[in-house]
Structure 1
Amino acid sequence: MFPESLIELTALICETADRELPSRFGCHSGSRKADGSLVTEADIVVQAALFDALKQRWPDTDVLGEEMDESAQQRAMHHSDTGLWVLDPLDGTTNFSNGVPYYAVSAALLRNGVIEQGVVYDPNRKECFAAARKQGAWLNGERLQHGCSAPPLAQGVALIDLKRLPKDLACRLASNPPYKSQRSFGAVALDWAWLAAGRFQVYLHGRQKLWDYAAGCLILEEAGGCAVTLEGKPVFAPTLQPRSAAAALDPAAFQQWIDWLGITRG
C-alpha cells in the first residue's frame, strides 16, 4: 500500500511542477553558475515555490536546494538531524531549456544521516516515482518490484555519463564496452528512477551532487537495486561533496558490472 506519508509530498511536487514548468519549456534564457552549469528562470521559480510549500506544510523541517548559494547549503546541512528537504527543482536543465523532454523535479527527506523519503517526478510523462525507507518504491502508486532476471551484461543496455568519469575508465568503456548498447540522457535523478523501473540494466556516473541522487538512490534501493561508488562505498553520504555511482537493479547484473569495473565493495 502506498504510504500516507508520501501522499502529500507527491501531490505537492507534482502540482508545483505541472503549474510552473510547461509554459517555460524550451526557453533558452538563463545564466551560468560558477561551475559552468546552466540555471534558468524555471529553476529559480520552482525552487521558490517548493520552498514556500514545504515550509508551510512542514515548518520545522529545513530546506536545501540546488540553486541556493553554497554557504546557505552548508548551513542547511547542519540541520539534517532535525530533518532536511533536499531539492533539485529542475533536474536536466540543459535538456529543458533546449526542448528535450527528459527532465524532472526531485525531493528527498534527509534525517540523522539517512534518506527517509524520495520523490522524482517527470512532468512530460506524468510519471511520479516515490519511495519510503523500508516500505518500498512506487511509480504512480504501483509498487516497483524487481522481478524478471536481467540479461547478461554483454546483452544489456547501460546508461553511462562518460564526461565525468576518470579518463582511463572512459576510454576503456569507449574502446571495449562490456554491454550491448549505451545511452546518456542528461538528468541524474530521472536516470536513477528509470533504472529502478528496469528500463536499462546498468548505470555509471562519475560525479553527482546530493540533490541529484538523494531521491533516486532511495527509489532504486527500495525497488531492490544495488549501488556503490567507484571506491566501493555506499553512494549516499550526508555531504555536499560529489559522489560517483555504479548501479544496477538486478543483483547478478550488478555483480557482473562491478567485477568488470574492478570495484571491491568496502
Structure 2
Amino acid sequence: MRETAEQTLLKHYQRLGAQEVSNKAADDVVTIADTESEIMLAEELAKILPEAAIVGEEAAHADPAIFERLSDKLCWIIDPLDGTNNYAAGKPPFGILLALAQGGETVAGWIYDPLSGRLCTAHRGQGAWVNGERVSSGGSGKTPPIAAISLVFADKAKRAALLEHIAPHYTLVDIPRCAAEQYPRIGLGRNDVSLFERTLAWDHAAGVLFLNEAGGKAARPDGSAYRVDRHLEPGLIGAATPRLFDEMAERLTRMPS
C-alpha cells in the first residue's frame, strides 16, 4: 500500500492535468491515479493469494459482473483511491482501502492514509491496530455525541427526516467524503457515530471490521452484520460503542418513513 501510494497517488497529487480527471457519475470523479493504483495493487495482491478473486472499484465500474465475485471463497476488495473528489481538488483526506473477504464476510482490512502514513489494520478476532499499536474505541465523551451524517445519497424525504428527527440529538460535524478517514475518526474518538446510506464493499469492508474489532459497532440499522456480498443494500451505522449504536438505531426506528 505504501509503495503504491508513493508511485501513483503521491506522484499525481496536486499535479493532475485536466485530461487526467473525468466524471464517472454525477458528483463522482475518477483520476489517472485511481486507475494506476488499482492496477498496481491488483498485480501485487494476486501474488500473495493467487487463488483469491479481485474486486476493484474501477474494474467493477467497467464490468458490473465482477460484483458476483464478492461471495467467492476468497476475495480481495480494493478501493485504490478513496476520497477521489477531495484528491482531485488537491486536498485531503484521501486514502487506500483494502479488505480480504471469505464467503462474503470480511476477515481482514487495511486503511492507509498516504499523507500521514497512518495504517489501520484489523483481522477478525484479533483486534484493531494503528501503526502497530492496539486501539480501543470509546467515543469522544462529549454530550451530545458527535455525529457525521452522510446525506449525499439519501433521497429528499429521508434527508429532511434525518435533519428533523436525528440531527437535534447530536453535535453535527462535516463528513470527510472519505471512508478511509471516517472510520478512523470514529475508532479513535474524534467522532461518536456516523450514518451511511450507500454501503459499497470497497468503501466499507475494511472500516466496518476495523471499528468492530476496536470494540465499537458497525452494522445495519437493524443490527444485522454487514456483508460485502450484500453491499448494494442501503443503510449502515458506525458507532464508537455498542451503546451509541443502539441509541442511533432506536432513533432511526422511530423516525417517520
> Shorter-chain-normalised TM-score: which range?
0.7 to 0.9
Question: 1:165 — aligned with what?
Answer: 154
For structure 1, list consecutive stretches of 5 or more residues without a partner in the other structure: 1-12
Q: Pick from 106, 110, 124: which aligns with 1:115?
A: 106
Give the drift of 1:34.
Answer: 5.1
Does residue 247 of structure 2 align to residue 256 of structure 1?
A: yes
Instruction: Measure, in 1, the Cα distance between the counterparts of 2:109 and 2:173.
Output: 27
Give the drift of 1:38.
Answer: 1.0
* DSSP-derived class of the 1:143 partner: strand
Q: Is the 8 A contact 2:199 2:231 kept in 1?
A: no
* DSSP-derived class of the 1:177 partner: helix
Instruction: Measure, in 2, the Cα distance between the counterparts of 1:178 and 1:105.
Output: 32
Instruction: Measure, in 1, the Cα distance between the counterparts of 2:227 and 2:8.
Output: 29
Instruction: Measure, in 2, the Cα distance between the counterparts of 1:255 and 1:230.
Output: 9
Instruction: Measure, in 1, the Cα distance between the counterparts of 2:48 and 2:226.
Output: 30
For structure 2, list consecutive stretches of 5 or more residues without a partner in the other structure: none
* Residues 94-141 of structure 1: per-residue CA shift (max 9 Å, x gap): 000101110110100011222110001011111101100000110111
Q: Is the 8 A contact 2:148 2:191 kept in 1?
A: yes
TM-score (norm 2): 0.88
2:194 maps to amino acid = Y
Instruction: Measure, in 2, the Cα distance between the counterparts of 1:207 and 1:242.
Output: 8
Q: 1:149 to 1:103 in 2, by over 3 A?
A: closer
2:117 maps to amino acid = K
Q: Which stretch has the larger CA shift, 227-236 or 177-186?
A: 227-236
Q: Pick from 12, 18, 22: which aligns with 1:24?
A: 12
Q: Which stretch has the larger CA shift, 88-97 or 140-149?
A: 140-149
Question: 2:196 — aligned with what?
Answer: 205
Q: Pick from 69, 74, 79: which aligns with 1:76?
A: 69
Aligned residues: 248
Q: Pick from 163, 173, 177: which aligns with 1:174?
A: 163
Give the drift of 1:19.
Answer: 2.5
Question: 1:10 — aligned with what?
Answer: none
Instruction: Measure, in 2, the Cα distance between the counterparts of 1:243 and 1:14.
Output: 32
2:161 maps to amino acid = R
* DSSP-derived class of the 2:212 partner: helix
Instruction: Measure, in 2, the Cα distance between the counterparts of 1:60 and 1:32.
Output: 33
Instruction: Measure, in 1, the Cα distance between the counterparts of 2:120 and 2:233.
Output: 23
* DSSP-derived class of the 1:33 partner: strand
Question: 2:224 — aligned with what?
Answer: 233
* Residues 172-196 of structure 1: per-residue CA shift (max 9 Å, x gap): 3334521123221101233123212
Question: 1:99 — aligned with what?
Answer: 90
Q: Pick from 51, 75, 79: which aligns with 1:88?
A: 79
TM-score (norm 1): 0.85
Q: 1:62 to 1:185 in 2, by over 3 A?
A: same
Instruction: Measure, in 1, the Cα distance between the counterparts of 2:64 and 2:251.
Output: 39
Question: 1:193 — aligned with what?
Answer: 184
Q: Is the 8 A contact 2:122 2:209 kept in 1?
A: yes
